[in-house]
Structure 1
């Protein structure tokens, strides 16, 4: 009988043949074929020590969740641990449709003497990255409105508590901007290859400099935090584990800075039950 603490897709993946898993677009998501290791989402109770073990890498998240990397051969034994409540395989994320601010009736919110501009708040985005050279994400003096940029795809200097990528500070981004495109992108090599993250951040927080205010975003005077999700795998989309770590990072950053944050997520999927609640 399948382990009830392991989600159905993960049980199915472990029971499937290598050929079946290779043919599927979903069963191998989160699995490193060479290392025979899984990235999984774990719900647990108690202290973080219940998650650790030999050949097991752990990134504890808020709310009793963690992203755990462990050998496939150890998953059944891991689920037998008393404090492990549930284990879920990551799912692939996809772009979702977004609409312009006019469709959101945001213009009346911004208009008038009491208009809301986003001043004093943080806007966070977990997406495909950002073109930090774009004028809509810069202040009048040319400095960046981006306080932190965590690029999960560039190894080297991850934020404290995380295991992948490189975190860039506002100071580093400002220095890159001052150096110009060629030298600046050597200092901060993070790029938004698809342009999706830059587009949705423009809607959420762009100040409209390029369009002289015509196409400014919702919170156009806010400060910005950006997470670029890790290297895309099969079919060029990231995974739910990377999204969860990105959201966790943004919440922790906002808490440390003592500022409210609004987080934009324009990735998603259609997994799970679609049954209506009674």
Structure 2
């Protein structure tokens, strides 16, 4: 019967053949075949003094955790020590974009003859702005994928029907890009100081030019509409009045262009009733 103090994956690794472990790509994570030693994570209680031993190395961590390096032959016996509450094998870490795209099946719909790339649609974002010089938001010829950029924090030329900020067109952004960063940012002085808007737009629609196609977003061939919310006031965050105007602007732009659009909103709150509907 599997040891109940050992997590399922480590139990499975112990029961598998060496060939099965190598093929799995996961069961051998934490195992060094050259030394036949395992790195494992344990939760323990009591003194640290009884954790180490002959051929067993322990790195004690806060909260009653430790990383233990020990021979594979010692794992079962080690788990029966009184102070050991639980033992698990390491898991491989991935870049979040890779993991998320796989889990959401985005890679499946992007590949193949009729793969979906976002071509012909608009991706809109209301956030902290965008680094419009970033390669992921530029076409192969260096021009911008951003069709409109409304920076609510720069006063002077708001979009028609609105009273705050300045709207920049693709033509203005392309001119700024052609001038280079020093002069271009004087022409279009919109910046993303926190980097949050740039990051989420990259996940939603980055084309991967900065990483030779490795870090492509979801709709990587879509055109972009960006709203940077007004300079934060109380508690360093924008307000819902700015957010709703940003959404309204994006919808109006999509209607005017006659194109479908997906909007990414990574700002929010948990105000209001949390009572379930009957």
TM-score by length of 2: 0.64
Aligned 1:2-81 pairs, distance under 5 A: none
Q: Does 1:165 align with 2:165?
A: yes
Partners of 1:262 and 1:187 in 2: how far apart?
A: 29
**Partner of residue 220, structure 2:** 220
Q: Does 1:237 align with 2:269?
A: no
Partners of 2:100 and 2:199 in 1: how far apart?
A: 10
Q: Give the drift of 1:211.
A: 1.1
**Partner of residue 101, structure 1:** 101
Q: Give the drift of 1:243.
A: 0.4
Which SS does the other structure have where 1:160 is aligned? coil
Q: Give the drift of 1:277.
A: 1.3
Q: Output one character per residue of 1:167-210: Cα deviation in whole Å (capped at 9) or x when no partner.
A: 00000000000000000000000000000000000011100011
Give the root-mean-square deviation of aligned CA atoms: 1.4
**Partner of residue 197, structure 1:** 197
Q: Does 1:255 align with 2:269?
A: no
Deviates more, 1:205-214 or 1:126-135: 205-214
**Partner of residue 186, structure 2:** 186
How many aligned residue pairs are there? 182
Partners of 2:188 and 2:264 in 1: how far apart?
A: 23
**Partner of residue 142, structure 2:** 142
TM-score by length of 1: 0.64
Q: Output one character per residue of 1:132-159: Cα deviation in whole Å (capped at 9) or x when no partner.
A: 0000000000000000000000000000
Tell me which of the two structures has the higher relative contact order, counting C-alpha pairs closer than 8 angstroms and 6 or more residues apart.
1
Q: Give the drift of 1:104.
A: 2.2
Q: Give the drift of 1:102.
A: 3.1
